[in-house]
């Protein structure tokens, strides 16, 4: 459809070049906004799935000689946790694993001299109702320096962040779509004004308004696809550059930018949706203008 012969010399218009780059920029912005929201939503989902039904107990090292050693307090905590109804598993986190978690933030040099708390990973049964506040009070009363973290507040903040990012991305896409529609309307109106003698001649020869609209919508859809290809290429290059730049960065400092098949299909469909929107807008604009012409 895009390569069919046009009776109107629309390819000679300078507005066509303008529209290609406008569509490229718009599609690039929409692509980056959607990709960013998908990465953040995927990261939040993975963290939430990994922490659902999990608790963490921290036992802080204490210099007070009257307090039992850290290893002894850890054993007491493990016995208390394993005897608690609803707790499926309670295992200490090895010092090597704790170092690996903190290494991206503190570095090896500081970790060697820093007294680290003992960590216990607790798994709760899916169908069991565990009273986390009551367990936290029991731990605090039985083991000095013990603190229970159920990740609820942190996960709630993460959900809010992911939801906010999705809303911002949606607002960006809507603004970009509105700007693209305005650009198409401007380009089509300009083309109609430039080629009004040819349009009148086509009418005299028996061409209908729908036929003239098809000329414009075919031309505009082709321009939108060209701009979409440019914007898509720039978007993919940006994601690749970010991925390469984060190649040596520890995972704790950078989000995982891996996207699923559905996310990639949605991103690759952005130029096609933009071309369809440009086609519909061009047809509507031409028919609306022609109905007002004498």
Residues 6 or more apart whose Cβ sits within 8 Å of residue 272: 228
Segment 156-180, tens digit of pLDDT? 787 888 888 889 988 999 999 999 9
- Assigned domain for 90 exists: yes
Q: Can you give the pLDDT at residue 214?
A: 86
- Assigned domain for 286 exists: yes
Question: Do 194 and 252 share a domain, yes or no?
Answer: yes
Q: Can you give the pLDDT at residue 233?
A: 95
- Assigned domain for 53 exists: no
Q: Can you give the pLDDT at residue 235?
A: 93
- Assigned domain for 56 exists: no
Note down the domain range covering 246: 10-48+155-292
Question: Do 169 and 275 share a domain, yes or no?
Answer: yes
Q: Can you give the pLDDT at residue 26?
A: 93
Asked which of 98, 124, 144 is the last residue of a domain, the reply is: 144
Tokens of 199: 């349009």
- Assigned domain for 216 exists: yes
Q: Can you give the pLDDT at residue 2?
A: 43
Asked which of 144, 171, 196 is the last residue of a domain, the reply is: 144
Question: Do 224 and 278 share a domain, yes or no?
Answer: yes
Contact assessment for residue 129 and residue 86, using Cβ atoms and an 8 Å cutoff: yes
Question: Do 92 and 231 share a domain, yes or no?
Answer: no
Q: Can you give the pLDDT at residue 250?
A: 52
**Domain tally for the chain?**
2
Bridge partners, residue 15, by sequence? none
Segment 2-12, tens digit of pLDDT? 445 566 667 66
- Assigned domain for 149 exists: no
- Assigned domain for 79 exists: yes
Question: Do 211 and 183 share a domain, yes or no?
Answer: yes
Question: Do 211 and 279 share a domain, yes or no?
Answer: yes
First to last CA, the chain: 30
Question: Do 38 and 100 share a domain, yes or no?
Answer: no
Closest CA to 213 of 115, 142, 118, 284: 284
Asked which of 109, 144, 179 is the last residue of a domain, the reply is: 144
Please list the ranges in the chain whose pLDDT falls under 50.
1-3, 253
Question: Do 108 and 87 share a domain, yes or no?
Answer: yes
Bridge partners, residue 92, by sequence? 120
Q: Can you give the pLDDT at residue 62?
A: 84
- Assigned domain for 5 exists: no
């Amino acid at each position: 459809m895009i390569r069919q012969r046009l009776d109107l010399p629309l390819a000679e218009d300078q507005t066509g070049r303008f529209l290609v780059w406008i569509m490229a920029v718009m599609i690039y912005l929409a692509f980056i906004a959607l990709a960013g929201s998908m990465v953040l939503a995927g990261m939040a989902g993975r963290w939430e799935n990994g922490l659902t039904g999990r608790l963490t107990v921290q036992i802080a090292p204490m210099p007070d000689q009257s307090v039992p050693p850290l290893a002894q307090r850890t054993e007491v905590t493990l016995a208390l946790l394993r005897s608690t109804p609803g707790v499926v598993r309670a295992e200490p986190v090895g010092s090597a694993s704790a170092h690996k978690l903190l290494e991206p933030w503190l570095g090896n040099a500081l970790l060697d001299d820093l007294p680290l708390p003992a960590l216990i990973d607790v798994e709760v049964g899916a169908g069991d109702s565990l009273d986390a506040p009551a367990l936290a009070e029991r731990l605090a009363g039985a083991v000095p320096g013990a603190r229970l973290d159920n990740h609820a507040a942190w996960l709630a903040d993460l959900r809010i962040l992911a939801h906010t990012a999705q809303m911002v991305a949606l607002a960006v896409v809507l603004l970009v779509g509105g700007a693209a529609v305005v650009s198409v309307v401007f380009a089509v109106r300009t083309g109609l004004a430039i080629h009004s003698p040819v349009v009148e001649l086509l009418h005299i020869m028996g061409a209908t308004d729908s036929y003239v609209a098809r000329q414009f919508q075919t031309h505009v859809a082709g321009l939108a696809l060209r701009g979409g290809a440019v914007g898509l290429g720039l978007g993919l290059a940006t994601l690749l550059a970010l991925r390469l730049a984060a190649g040596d960065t520890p995972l704790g400092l950078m989000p995982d930018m891996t996207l699923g098949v559905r996310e990639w299909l949605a991103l690759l469909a952005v130029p096609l949706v933009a071309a369809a929107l440009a086609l519909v807008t061009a047809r509507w604009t031409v028919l609306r203008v022609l109905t007002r012409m004498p």
